[in-house]
Amino acid sequence: MSAASGLLETHDLVVGYVAGVDILHGVDVHVAEGEIVTIAGPNGAGKSTLVRSICGLLPARSGQVLFRGEDISRTKAHAIARKGVGYVPQLNNVFVSMTVEENLELGAIARRRTALRERIAAMYELFPRLKERRRQRAGTLSGGERQMLAMARTLIPEPDVLVLDEPSAGLAPTLVGLIFERIAAINKTGVTILMVEQNARRALAMSHHGYMLDLGRNRFRGTGRELLDNPRVVELYLGIDRRGVRARPIPGEDRAEG
């Protein structure tokens, strides 16, 4: 598993919110350059906590987060963003009081020497919808448009790795397909993807590697295919539905996890 070109890794990562209560009990994740890696698992597994900690929004209690071999577990979130880790939260991921274009302009903060106009034009090509809406306040956008804007803003500074927390959460089924298609297209341009996904079948099917997280620990790891073919994984986490959607959504699962 330990490929030489590890871009982003965690070693034995322990994280929590409340004193004395750990949410992650030592999680190891390895993301190689150019890969798509999915972290799946049931509600409350600590998936969002893991990516928030990687991006510097939650301090690690112990363990390491390595980006290009450098420990960033004590680095502030804005400095991590400036190193090339782009993070798209699940909720509240756009600046609602600012216009679409201002949101995109803010993306450039993470890297000063960005050819801003060119990057914005490239994002409008990737998400034509945003171009139509560019003078609109982001707060007036639909859920799918917000997700697109959040991804576009994070891509403006040309990050090495894009960290996505539940990119398909709360979206209409037709939009889910579009978002996954765009994620694959972004990966094709050389951006490494680390995503947390509720929609595990679909995400794993397009991933080079995947992790099943449960109660703050790694349970299964493997290539996307291996996990999808593993009967234990299917039985425990993926349900019996073969259409690529969970048979019965767990109530409240679309909301942020603790």
Give me 199's structure tokens. Answer: 């929609």
User: Please, are residues 141 and 100 in contact by the beta-carbon 8 Å criterion?
Assistant: yes
Hey, which residues does 127 pair with through a beta bridge?
Answer: none
Question: Rounded to the nearest whole angstrom, what is the least distance from the CB of residue 162 to other proteins in the complex?
Answer: 13
Host H or E run for residue 153 = helix 143-155
User: Please, are residues 156 and 102 in contact by the beta-carbon 8 Å criterion?
Assistant: no
Amino acid at 4: A
**By CB under 8 A, is residue 216 in contact with other proteins?**
no
Q: What one-character-per-residue DSSP string does 43-109 give?
A: TTSSHHHHHHHHTTSS--SEEEEEETTEE-TTS-HHHHHHHTEEEE-SSS-S-TTSBHHHHHHHHGG
**By CB under 8 A, is residue 82 in contact with other proteins?**
yes
- If the CB atoms of residues 32 and 60 are measured against other proteins, the closer one turns out to be 60
Hey, which residues does 198 pair with through a beta bridge?
Answer: none
Question: Rounded to the nearest whole angstrom, what is the least distance from the CB of residue 186 to other proteins in the complex?
Answer: 17
Which of 50, 55, 120, 169 is close enough to bind other proteins by CB under 8 A? 55
The count of other CB atoms within 10 Å of the CB of residue 256 is 12
Question: Rounded to the nearest whole angstrom, what is the least distance from the CB of residue 96 to other proteins in the complex?
Answer: 5
- If the CB atoms of residues 108 and 205 are measured against other proteins, the closer one turns out to be 108
Which of 43, 44, 57, 182 is close enough to bind other proteins by CB under 8 A? 57
- If the CB atoms of residues 117 and 248 are measured against other proteins, the closer one turns out to be 117
Interatomic CA distance for residues 137 and 104, integer angstroms:
12
Site for other proteins in 150-179 (CB under 8 A): 153-154, 157
User: Please, are residues 66 and 9 in contact by the beta-carbon 8 Å criterion?
Assistant: yes
Site for other proteins in 91-150 (CB under 8 A): 91-98, 102, 105-107, 109-111, 139
Q: Which of 162, 164, 167, 123 is nearest to 144 (CA)?
A: 167
Which of 78, 225, 232, 242 is close enough to bind other proteins by CB under 8 A? 78
Which of 74, 76, 232, 255 is close enough to bind other proteins by CB under 8 A? 76
**By CB under 8 A, is residue 67 in contact with other proteins?**
no
Q: Which residues bind other proteins (CB under 8 A)?
A: 55-57, 76-78, 81-82, 87, 89, 91-98, 102, 105-107, 109-111, 139, 153-154, 157
